[in-house]
């Protein structure tokens, strides 16, 4: 009778914290809903898009990118939701590892973008030039370019005469377009108090010298304006990056805590089962 006494019913209580479990579930459920909304918007935008060549200037169609990101987020958060509710280690590990990889890829992309800033600038220049070429091909692209030029007070990629790359604004004497050697109205220096915008204010501006054109339109390109804006808003961009990183780190932390708690509970249950079958061992 000198053997070790059988342990109490340690498996009657759970080592898994309900707070961690349901907090992780709510965290994933929120992003699961966001993923559904993203996919829905992407599908709707894709169905409404008719001009395929219109967004050829962009690296990826925003609608397609939205759908891809939404589907990946949906699958990932589904693993997190079900894994947390069912206390499934396999799903939770899939969620944790995937989220860690995504976080690392974002970190590497940010570092590479900073280190190879000249290469990134070249890619942006190429994208803007392609956007200029396709300016009249799609109303959405046109509105996006106009908004960018008005918001940053710029015109073209490097300078206002970049608009000569567009077939409608080209300065070639054989160009029959009525907008020959012009620039879009979004390049014009327009007073904020004007209720009606003269959409022909950029007429013939490419024929003028740089100084003369500067009296009527923004002559500096959008690339330099964009770079200057990034440099002057580093804290804002850093805050946005941190805001995107925090939910990922929280998801990784909660899932890892839950995985460890489930593993500890499995060890305890195995220990209890072993000593129940052989209480005198």
Question: What would the pLDDT profile of 92-130 be if each residue is shown by its tens digit?
Answer: 999 999 999 999 998 898 888 777 777 878 888 888 888
CB 280, CB 3: distance < 8 Å = yes
- For residues 78 and 144, membership in a common domain is answered with no
User: Which residues form the domain of 63?
Assistant: 12-116+246-277
**Alpha carbons 92 and 160: distance in angstroms, whole number:** 53
- Considering its fold, how many domains does the chain have in total? 2
pLDDT digits (tens, 9 = 90+) for 146-193: 999 999 999 999 999 999 999 999 999 899 999 999 999 999 998 766
- Nearest CA to 201 out of 180, 216, 222 is that of 216
Give residue 267's pLDDT: 86
Residue at 43 is within a domain: yes
Residue at 72 is within a domain: yes
pLDDT digits (tens, 9 = 90+) for 210-249: 899 999 999 999 998 988 888 888 888 888 888 889 999 9
User: For residue 47, what pLDDT band results from cuts at 50, 70 and 90?
Assistant: confident
**Alpha carbons 213 and 95: distance in angstroms, whole number:** 56
- For residues 41 and 134, membership in a common domain is answered with no
- For residues 212 and 141, membership in a common domain is answered with yes
- For residues 129 and 222, membership in a common domain is answered with yes
pTM of the model: 0.73
- For residues 112 and 250, membership in a common domain is answered with yes
Task: Give me the CATH number covering residue 153.
Answer: 1.10.1450.10
- For residues 137 and 169, membership in a common domain is answered with yes
Name every residue whose Cβ is closer than 8 Å to that of residue 31 and which is 6 or more positions away in sequence: 73, 77, 247
Name every residue whose Cβ is closer than 8 Å to that of residue 173 and which is 6 or more positions away in sequence: none
Q: What is the mean pLDDT of the chain?
A: 84
- For residues 173 and 261, membership in a common domain is answered with no
- For residues 213 and 269, membership in a common domain is answered with no
């Amino acid at each position: 009778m000198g053997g070790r006494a059988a342990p109490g019913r340690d498996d009657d209580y759970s080592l898994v914290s309900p707070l961690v479990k349901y907090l992780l579930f709510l965290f994933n459920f929120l992003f699961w809903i966001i993923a559904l909304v993203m996919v829905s918007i992407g599908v709707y935008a894709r169905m409404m898009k008719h001009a395929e060549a219109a967004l050829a200037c962009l690296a990826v169609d925003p609608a397609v990118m939205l759908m891809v990101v939404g589907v990946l987020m949906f699958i990932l958060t589904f693993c997190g939701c079900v894994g947390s509710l069912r206390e499934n280690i396999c799903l939770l590990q899939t969620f944790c590892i995937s989220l860690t990889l995504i976080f690392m890829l974002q970190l590497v992309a940010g570092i590479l973008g900073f280190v190879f800033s000249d290469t990134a600038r070249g890619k942006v220049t190429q994208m803007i030039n392609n956007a200029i070429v396709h300016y009249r091909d799609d109303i959405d692209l046109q509105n996006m370019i106009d908004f960018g030029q008005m918001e940053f007070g710029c015109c073209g990629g490097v300078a206002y005469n970049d608009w000569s790359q567009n077939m409608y604004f080209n300065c070639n004497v054989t160009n029959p377009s009525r907008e020959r050697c012009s620039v879009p109205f979004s390049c014009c220096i327009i007073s904020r108090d004007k209720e009606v915008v003269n959409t022909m204010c950029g007429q013939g501006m490419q024929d003028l010298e740089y100084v003369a054109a500067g009296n009527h339109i923004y002559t500096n390109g959008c690339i330099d304006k964009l770079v200057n804006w990034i440099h002057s808003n580093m804290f804002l961009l850093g805050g946005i990056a941190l805001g995107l990183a925090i939910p990922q780190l929280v998801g990784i932390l909660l899932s890892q805590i839950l995985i460890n708690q489930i593993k500890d509970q499995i060890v305890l249950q195995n220990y209890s089962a072993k000593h129940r079958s052989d209480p005198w061992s």
